[in-house]
Amino acid sequence: MGLLGLLDFFITTFKVGYAGAGINPIFLGLIILLLVVSKEQIGSLNSKDAEIGERKLNGALIESLIKDFNVKSDLELNEILNNDSKYTDEAKSAAISILENRGEKKDTKKFRCSVCGEIHDELPALGFKTPFHYDILNEDDKREVAEISNDFCLIHHPEQTDRFIRAVLTIQVNDACENLDYGVWVSLSEESFKEYERNFKKDSEEKVYFGMICNEISDYEESTIGIHVNVNTRNGGIRPEIIPHQNDHKLISDWENGITIQEAEKRVKLTLEALGNNS
């Protein structure tokens, strides 16, 4: 319906009801039309303002990280790019920007050891893109009740909402100059989740939250889902560190005592083979 059609509708519909009261139906129609259009424009502006605000926040964080990362070597910057589980997208964007300004090529396969000073091939982090609780949803539920990004996941059930964030579990490799990182999702309480989300893109006071691992790490016979952990937040574009609580699970023993480089390489190989079989 065009503008003239809309005005004609108001004239024919409201003439009888409002003529006796001295109200011009055309004037009334214009007011209503103005209110409708204004509401739509305000909603659109609010959405655009939120999007612009998010971009500004991302940009400010990247600029701050660039200042922090400028003292890092090219090898250290490439280590950031190679570790998808440990570093956020903003940290990787900052590293890319610095390397491009230096005119250096990105080499994500090597790093310089801080212990022996030698250059080594990088052990890739073993990461999960989604929490187990999201993986078991059917496709309709993933679209209708779940919200997921690189760092946050919400699943809205009728009786509750489950909340997850990405974090890093580091296993020491005893006879090598590096560690094996697992990028896993952990569940948090509503209060902890909201506080972490609120401070995610800020260099704020580091916090400790209680959480539970929400991925099945295939390197262990006993399920790793539900293992109690402390979730220690970190600044500088680094995802939170997981500190497991004491129990008799083999994962806890590995975290406390470390593993060999042969075991680490075996886990990486099996994971890569599994990914290749699923592709």
Average of pLDDT values for 163-172? 96
- Answer for the pair 131, 149: CB distance below 8 angstroms, yes or no: no
**How many other C-beta atoms can be found within 10 angstroms of the C-beta atom of residue 132?**
18
User: Strand, helix or coil at 213?
Assistant: strand
- Where in the chain are the domains? 1-61, 70-119, 125-278
Quick one: pLDDT band at residue 258, thresholds 50, 70, 90? very high
Tell me, what's the pLDDT at 34?
A: 63
- Does position 107 have pLDDT exceeding 80, yes or no? no
What proportion of the chain, given as a percentage, has pLDDT over 90?
Answer: 42
Average pLDDT over the chain, rounded to an integer: 78
85 vs 252: which has the higher pLDDT = 252
Contacts with 201 (C-beta within 8 Å, 6 or more apart), sequence order: 57, 58, 61, 90
17 Cα distance to chain centroid: 57
- Answer for the pair 164, 131: CB distance below 8 angstroms, yes or no: yes
Q: Longest Cα pair distance anywhere in the chain, in angstroms? A: 94
- Does position 172 have pLDDT exceeding 50, yes or no? yes
Helix (H) or strand (E) holding 241: strand 241-244
Range ranked top by mean pLDDT from 73-82, 113-122, 157-166:
157-166
Beta bridge partners, 169, equal: 182
- Does position 163 have pLDDT exceeding 50, yes or no? yes
4 vs 234: which has the higher pLDDT = 234
Quick one: pLDDT band at residue 275, thresholds 50, 70, 90? low
Tell me, what's the pLDDT at 3?
A: 47
Helix (H) or strand (E) holding 212: strand 208-213
Q: What is the DSSP string of 94-156?
A: HHHHHHHHHTPPP-TTEEE-TTT--EEEPPPPEE-SS-HHHHTS-HHHHHHTEEE-SSEEEEE
Tell me, what's the pLDDT at 35?
A: 64
Average of pLDDT values for 221-244? 94
137 vs 118: which has the higher pLDDT = 137
Cα radius of gyration (the chain): 27
64 vs 198: which has the higher pLDDT = 198
